[in-house]
């Protein structure tokens, strides 16, 4: 089974304080670490497991600047055979434009595949739509939030999608297809620095994004400004030394009746 995995390099912002430029046009990410999008690492791992069991090869594809080469190296270290970087120095925010580039790239460069995998969403813009748009453009069936692939048959897959409230739905989907992979489906393997170093010796292929942008597929949406979320009343912050804070906390627990 040949698999294309879409991967993206994203800033890790969960524990960072983010500063928006005064004109509201951008966020300062100069001191924020970057890595492979968390959801994509589950997608790469799932691809590697599928190929280990059923044969085939994995091509990892990214859109981004040259720095994004690092996520291809990681994908190769995890088990991908090949990495393709579609180079763009512009931030392509519109998921429609990104999906369109992937579609034209896969078709023009004739990248072989039975399945295309990607993460459910990217950590930075959280659109969660690239795989779905791509599937529709390629005329292929699509399933998102895939949390388990139970059976691989000749012409179809049996898989589970995550719904809300702990419920899943089991579906059958015909090959070839596009799937977006939910976090928690597997445990992405650990990659050592040695592994990454070895992977960097595997040749990656580089392409220019402009080649795959159609004339009529310019941005359908644009972001006009960025701003901080409106503040609510917010929490009463407990101040003091740690012992003092913890004594206040114990006081609150007693007051609320959960601690005697």
Contact between 21 and other proteins per CB under 8 A:
no
Strands, E assignment, 57-141: 58-64, 82-87, 115-119
Q: Residue 66: how many CB atoms within 10 A of its CB? A: 10
Closer Cβ to other proteins, 113 or 199, answer by number: 113
46-75 positions binding other proteins, by CB under 8 A: none
Closer Cβ to other proteins, 91 or 206, answer by number: 91
Contact between 91 and other proteins per CB under 8 A:
no
Contact between 34 and other proteins per CB under 8 A:
no
CA distances to 72, 148, 162, 168 from 165, in Å: 35, 17, 9, 9
Q: How far is the CB of 123 from other proteins (least distance, A)?
A: 7
Quote the tokens at residue 153: 């048959």
Report the length, in residues, of the chain.
260
Contact between 114 and other proteins per CB under 8 A:
no
Residue 54 contacts residue 149 (beta carbons within 8 Å) = no
Closer Cβ to other proteins, 76 or 130, answer by number: 130
Between 166 and 185, how does the x/- string for binding to other proteins read (CB under 8 A)? xxxxxxxxx--x-----xx-
Query: Which of 52, 91, 210, 250 forms a contact with other proteins (CB under 8 A)?
Result: 250
Query: Which of 96, 105, 113, 207 forms a contact with other proteins (CB under 8 A)?
Result: 96
Contact between 92 and other proteins per CB under 8 A:
no
Element (H, E) at 178: strand 177-181
Q: How far is the CB of 64 from other proteins (least distance, A)?
A: 17
Contact between 124 and other proteins per CB under 8 A:
yes
DSSP code for 203: P
Query: Which of 14, 30, 89, 192 forms a contact with other proteins (CB under 8 A)?
Result: 14
Residue 108 contacts residue 61 (beta carbons within 8 Å) = no
Residue 68 contacts residue 85 (beta carbons within 8 Å) = yes
Query: Which of 53, 112, 211, 249 forms a contact with other proteins (CB under 8 A)?
Result: 249
d(CA 136, CA 133): 5
């Amino acid at each position: 089974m040949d698999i294309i995995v879409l991967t993206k390099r994203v800033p890790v912002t969960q524990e960072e304080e983010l500063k928006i430029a005064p004109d509201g046009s951008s966020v300062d990410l100069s001191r924020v670490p970057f890595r492979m999008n968390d959801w994509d690492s589950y997608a790469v791992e799932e691809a590697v497991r599928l190929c280990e069991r059923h044969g085939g090869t994995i091509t990892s594809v990214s859109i981004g600047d040259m720095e994004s080469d690092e996520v291809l190296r990681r994908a190769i270290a995890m088990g991908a055979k090949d990495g393709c970087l579609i180079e763009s120095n512009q931030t392509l925010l519109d998921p429609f434009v990104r999906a369109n580039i992937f579609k034209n790239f896969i078709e023009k460069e004739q990248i072989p595949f039975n399945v295309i995998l990607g993460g459910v969403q990217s950590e930075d813009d959280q659109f969660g739509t690239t795989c779905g748009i791509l599937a529709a453009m390629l005329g292929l069936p699509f399933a998102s939030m895939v949390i388990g692939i139970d059976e691989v048959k000749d012409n179809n897959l049996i898989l589970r999608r995550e719904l809300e409230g702990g419920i899943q739905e089991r579906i059958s989907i015909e090959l070839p297809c596009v799937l977006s992979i939910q976090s928690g489906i597997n445990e992405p393997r650990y990659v050592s620095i040695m592994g990454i170093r070895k992977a960097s010796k595997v040749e990656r292929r580089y392409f220019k994004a402009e080649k795959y942008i159609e004339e009529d597929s310019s941005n359908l949406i644009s972001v006009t400004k960025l701003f901080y979320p409106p503040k609510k009343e917010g929490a009463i912050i407990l101040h003091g030394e740690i012992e003092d804070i913890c004594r206040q906390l114990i006081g609150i627990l007693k007051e609320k009746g959960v601690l005697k």
